[in-house]
Each structure stands twice: as structure tokens, then as C-alpha cells.
Amino acid sequence: MSTAVRHDDTTFEEFLELIPDGQKADLIDGVIYMASPDNTDAADLEIWLASIMELFVEVRDLGEIYVSRVAYKIGPTRGPEPDIGFVPKALEHLRRRGFIDGPPAIAVEIVSPDSVDRDYILKRNIYEAAGVREYWIIDPDDERATFLRLRGGKYEEVLVTDHIFHSEVLPGFSLDVDWLWSTSRPRAYDVLRRLLGD
């Protein structure tokens, strides 16, 4: 279960000093939330989705995918660590050794029982205010995927038709939402071949 370990106005710089390398945590409005250990189902889903995104981004030479434990400085007391983040080539100059000095273009959060409020409310507000262009909230327990797209500075939920989501930030990238809950997901390589039309 995640725990708020600091309740005062922790700065981003203090956050970097306090959290050891390899520990997943979020800095939200000066409060540090330590993550509980991953459950295996969520970890499998995260690795599968991140692998597809990473392969797609690499082949198309679009930028970088970062998985967990990478903080994005989006304010003096805000440093969320999305489960998956996409930083386009045009923003690669924001990369620092220990963090990204700005928001990702896509943030993906895989909801766990202890992160429901953070993912659906706190992080949604933070990502929206920071200009994160797409925010994907994937809730394996409820088998629910929410895709938000920034329009005029506000998030609008994307209507998914025929269970296929199409990203605007990653042109040509689509995702069959049913795969997220399947016990027999296609291999990441096979999904990539479909996306590339091979």
C-alpha cells in the first residue's frame, strides 16, 4: 500500500535527494507518496505495453519511452513518476541524469488499489495543468481504460470505437483495449508488425 511519507512542502530537489534510485514514488504538491511493490499482473501489463510503445517509437524515431521510476519536474513541488512516459525528440533536451525537466507528451498510469485517487484525480489535474497531451489511465481491476486528450487546455475523454484506441501523439499507434485484460495477449513483436503493416 502506498504511503504519504512527507506531508510538508517538499521541493523537487529535496525529492530527488530523499528517494533512493530504483524506488518508485510521486511528488504531488509537496507530498511524497511511496509506491507499494508491484503486483505481478500489473507488472506484466506495464512491461507488455511499454515494450510495444518502445518498439514503435524506436522504429519511427519519435523520441524516448521511459518506464516507472523516472520523475518529471513539472513544478517546484511536483514530480510525478508515471508508469510509462513518452518524451518526443523535440523535447529530448529536457532529459537530465536523474529526471526529465518538464512534462511527458504521454503519461500512462496503471491503477492499483492504493493509487485510485491519485491516478484518477490528483494526477489527472496535474497532467492537465502541465500540458500533457494524452493521459492514459489503465485500471486492470475494473477492466477499464480511460484515454484523455488535451483540447484547449482541458482534458476530454476519447471515445473508443470498436475497442480500438488511436493515439494522436503517436501517429499510427493504435491499441486494442481488449488486449489489456486478456490472459493471452499477443506478443509485443506481433503487435508492432500489425502497427507497421508488415
> Model confidence over 6-40: pLDDT tens digits?
567 899 999 999 888 878 899 999 999 988 766 77
The runs of H, that is alpha helices, within 2-146 are 12-18, 40-60, 116-117, 123-130
Q: How many CB atoms lie within 10 A of CB 189?
A: 11
> Model confidence over 39-75: pLDDT tens digits?
777 889 999 999 999 999 999 999 999 997 899 999 9
Write down the pLDDT at residue 30: 93
| Contact in structure between 51 and 188 (CB atoms under 8 Å) | yes
The runs of H, that is alpha helices, within 123-196 are 123-130, 178-181, 188-196
Write down the pLDDT at residue 42: 83
Lowest mean pLDDT among 14-23, 81-90, 132-141: 14-23
Task: Kindly state the DSSP code that residue 82 receives in the 8-state scheme.
Answer: -
Query: Domains in the chain and their CATH numbers?
Result: 39-196 (3.90.1570.10)
Report the amino acid identity of residue 111: V
Give the number of C-alpha atoms closer than 13 A to the C-alpha of residue 139, restricted to the C-beta side: 16
Dihedrals phi, psi of 2, to nearest 5 degrees: -80, 150
The sign of the CA dihedral 45, 113, 134, 131 is negative
The sign of the CA dihedral 172, 177, 179, 180 is positive
